[in-house]
Amino acid sequence: MSFSTELRGYGKPLAESVLAILIGALIGAIVLWLSGYDAVAAYKALLEGAFLGGNFSETLSKSTPLILTAITFAIGARTGLFNIGAEGAVYFGAIAAVGVTQVLQNPLAGVLSGLLIGALWMLPAAVLKVYRGVHEVISTIMLNWIAFYIASWMALSVLANPNNPNSTLPIPPGARLPLLVQNSTLSMAFIIAVVASIVVYVIMWHTRLGYELRTSGQNPRAAEYGGINPKAAMVWSFLIGGMTAGLAGAVQIMGIPPSYSISQGLANVYGYGFDGIGVSLVGRNHPLGIIFAGILFGALNAGATQMQQTGVPLEMVKVIEGIIIVAVAVPGLLDLFVKPFRRGAQ
C-alpha cells in the first residue's frame, strides 16, 4: 500500500471524528443554554484557555496521560477486547513511581516502575479472561474500584508526607522529568507519551506480534487456523496496555510541578483512564490518531479551568466528551449527514 492510499484511507474516519466533535460541541451548547449559561462566552473562554499564548503548553501537558491511557484501550480494541482497566493501572503507576524514586533517585527508575506495575495490575483481568471467560468490562471495572481504595490507602499510609497531610511524599528532585517550557507544566512526559505512541504503532503494524494481535482481534477463529494463539494475544494485549497506563500514572506525578506528588483522594491521577477511552475512540483506536485526539481532549480539560471562571461547572467538558463518544458510536455517521444532500443533487 502506497503512502497516499494509506492517507486517503484515513480521510473518512477523520471526517467522522470531526463531525462527532462538532455534534458534541453543539449539543453541549444546547445543554449550557438550557441550564441558563452563556454558551458563547463559555466556549470562548474554553478556546482561549486551551490555545491562547502559553495556554497551549497546558493543553499538551493535560493531553499526556490521556494519550497513554488511550493507547491502553486502543491495543485492547485492536485485539478484540474492551479493556477499560487503564484507570486502576494509572493509580498504581503513580504510587510505584513515588515509592521507587524515594529509594532510586532516577527518572528512569520511576518510568520503569510505572511500566512494570501497570503490566502486573492487568494480569488478574488477563487471567480471568483467558482461564475463566470473565468479560473484561466487568473484571476491569471491579479492579478499578479495588485499585482506587488500595492506592488511596497506600497514599495515606506508606507514602504519606509527614509535612503535608494533603499529599504523598514528593518525587525527589533528581528523579523529576525536566520541563520543556519554563513556568509551565509541560515536561518531558509529553515526549515520552508521543514516543510510546509511535513505538506501539510500530509494534502493532510492523511486527509479527502486532500482526498476531490484530488478526486475533479481527477474527479469532481464522487466527487460530493460521497458527496464532488468540489467548496469548489477549494476554499480551493486556500487558502492553497495562504498561502504557502505568506509565501515564508515573509521568503524571514525575512531570507535573510544583507538587510532584499525589494529591489527597488521588485527585490528580483520577479519571484519566476513563477519559482515555474517549480519546481512543475519537482517534479511531490508532496510536497516531490518538496523539491528535489526545491533544483535543487535553485542550478541553485545559480550557475547562478558564471556562469555569464564566460560572460553568468544570464537569461540562465531560458531558461534551460523552456526547462525542455516543456520536462516534453511530455507524455511518457521515453518510447520515451527507446522503440527503447527495440525493437532492441527483
Partner 1 sequence: MNETMIVGLLLGSLAAMVPIVLTSVGATISERAGVVNIGYEGILMLSAFFGTIFAEMAHNGWVGLLGGALTGLALGVVHGVITVYLKGDHVIPGIGLNLIGYGGVAFGILAYWGTAGQHQVPSYAQISPLWMDAFGNSLSPMVPITFFIALLAWWMLFKTPLGLRIRSVGENPEAADALGINVELYRFTAVLIASALSGVAGAYLSVDWLGTVTKTIAAGRGFIALANMVFSGWNPLMALVGGFIFGFFDNLAIYIQNNPWLAGAIPWQFIATLPYVVTLIVVAGIIGRARPPKWDGIPYKRE
Residues binding partner 1 (CB under 8 A): 35-37, 82, 84, 124, 128, 132-135, 137-139, 141-143, 145-146, 149-150, 152-153, 157, 274-275, 277-278, 281, 313, 315-319, 321-332
Residues sharing a CB contact under 8 Å with residue 179, sequence separation 6 or more, in sequence order? 185, 186, 187, 188, 255, 257
Is the CB of 255 or the CB of 278 nearer to partner 1? Answer: 278
What does the DSSP 8-state code read for residue 182? T
E-strand spans in the chain? 160-161, 164-168
- Nearest approach, Cβ of residue 160 and partner 1 (Å): 13
Contact 79, 237 (CB under 8 A): yes
How far apart are alpha carbons 75 and 279 in whole angstroms? 13
Strands 160-161 and 164-168: what pairing?
antiparallel
Rounded alpha-carbon distances, angstroms, from residue 288 to 221, 279, 285? 28, 11, 9
Largest pairwise CA distance in the chain: 74
- Nearest approach, Cβ of residue 152 and partner 1 (Å): 5
Is the CB of 97 or the CB of 281 nearer to partner 1? Answer: 281
Is the CB of 172 or the CB of 271 nearer to partner 1? Answer: 271
Residues sharing a CB contact under 8 Å with residue 300, sequence separation 6 or more, in sequence order? 46, 50, 317, 320, 321
- Nearest approach, Cβ of residue 163 and partner 1 (Å): 22
- Nearest approach, Cβ of residue 236 and partner 1 (Å): 21
Is the CB of 159 or the CB of 328 nearer to partner 1? Answer: 328
- Nearest approach, Cβ of residue 98 and partner 1 (Å): 17
Is the CB of 145 or the CB of 337 nearer to partner 1? Answer: 145
- Nearest approach, Cβ of residue 345 and partner 1 (Å): 24
Is the CB of 8 or the CB of 335 nearer to partner 1? Answer: 335
- Nearest approach, Cβ of residue 169 and partner 1 (Å): 19
Is the CB of 10 or the CB of 153 nearer to partner 1? Answer: 153
- Nearest approach, Cβ of residue 221 and partner 1 (Å): 15
* C-alpha closest to that of 210 among 225, 218, 200: 200
Contact 104, 171 (CB under 8 A): no
Is the CB of 155 or the CB of 256 nearer to partner 1? Answer: 155
Residues sharing a CB contact under 8 Å with residue 217, sequence separation 6 or more, in sequence order? 77, 78, 79, 80, 81, 233
Residues sharing a CB contact under 8 Å with residue 279, sequence separation 6 or more, in sequence order? 66, 67, 69, 70, 290, 293, 294, 296, 297
